[in-house]
A and B are shown apart, each in its own frame.
Chain A
Amino acid sequence: MAILPPGAVAPPFTLHSTPDQTVSLSDFRGRNVILAFYPADWSPVCGDQLALYNELLPEFTRLDAQLLGISVDGPWSHAALSSERHYHFPLLSDFEPKGQVARSYGAYRQAEGVAERALFVIDGNGAIRWSYLSPMGINPGADGILKALDDIHAATGQEVS
């Protein structure tokens, strides 16, 4: 199954970010959202990839974008990972029904039961503007995300400070 392409409507979701808090895509209406699906907490590539994005949070904020990480891990695993790695963005649990949100974006690997390493940039109207499926073991970096956000700002003529 292919991941959702640019132009598609981003499927809505509400997922746990902590054991007692949830986050919905609609919470960020009017802002850009970066959805980073990844296979599993604690795996080495994820660590590097999320560490890089963590470092880029000021840049994402400057481009009016909220970063959300998503995997099928439970909220307690996410909490431990965030705390150890000092992540300052939500990690969402696509835990029950398992992988449902990943499936809705075409980013679920049935055989392994985990999310793909897939990136989506969604605009303030809830439309997917860019998507990218990375090979499982390869950290896709952030240049594609930044370019997609630049393109959104260029298209709307929005000034970026």
Chain B
Amino acid sequence: MSGALAVPVSDADHAKGSVDAPVTLVEYGDYQCPACGMAYPFVQEILQRSGEQLRFVFRNFPLSQAHPYASMAAQVAEGAASLGRFWEMHDWLYENQDHWTQRGAEGIADGVQAVGLDPMQLQEALEDNHIAERVRHDFMGGVRSGVNGTPSFYLNGQLYAGGFDTLGQALGQMIAQAR
């Protein structure tokens, strides 16, 4: 309820953009959540527009009781990360959400193929317990930060209370003020 990010952004996070950017945007997201799918193009647009002025961090917040494949998708993206391909997998999952959520595990496997990951290598990565732990760690950090649903966005460590359609505007103002 305080809306402050409880777990500071660190090297352990998946981040895009400059470490020195004046604004850091953290998203807590669920790959199977339709609202996150709708937010994805807005975030992409913001990223393209903001360039070096913005650092973007994605953290997992799978509501697996509501979305049965959300946890699996989160773990596959983390597995992809251990093979150096996190953002490719992350982007594929959101860009093809309508497709894979209809097909479940097979749909996710389509993504693994599309991104060009070696299924055997990925499987080995997924057998590593740290991946499930990592997803849970992201989730609990989100809960402690007051995440109440997905997507939830934090601008420089403070929960953004508005909708994602106005996020770009709020962010633009922060960047302008930081100059």
Contacts and interface: CB of A to CB of B under 8 A. Distances in A.
Contact of A141 (B65, B140, B147): B147
B71 to A, nearest CB: 10
B63 A59 contact: no
B37 to A, nearest CB: 16
Query: Interface range on chain B: under 10, 10 to 19, 20 to 34, or 35 or more?
Result: 10 to 19
Residue from A48, A52, A59, A85 whose CB has the most chain B CB atoms within 10 Å: A52
Contacts of A54: 65-66
Interface in B1-18: 1-2, 6
Interface SS majority for chain A: helix
B146 A59 contact: no
Contacts, number: 50
Contact of A143 (B1, B64, B66): B1
A132 interface: yes
B22 interface: no
Nearest to A140: B1
A85 B140 contact: no
12 contacts: A48-B148, A49-B148, A51-B65, A52-B149, A56-B143, A59-B140, A85-B66, A86-B66, A140-B1, A141-B147, A143-B2, A143-B145
Interface of A: 48-49, 51-52, 54-56, 59, 85-88, 132, 139-144, 146
Given A52-B149, A86-B65, A143-B1, 9 more contacts: A52-B148, A54-B65, A55-B63, A55-B65, A87-B65, A132-B1, A141-B1, A141-B147, A144-B1
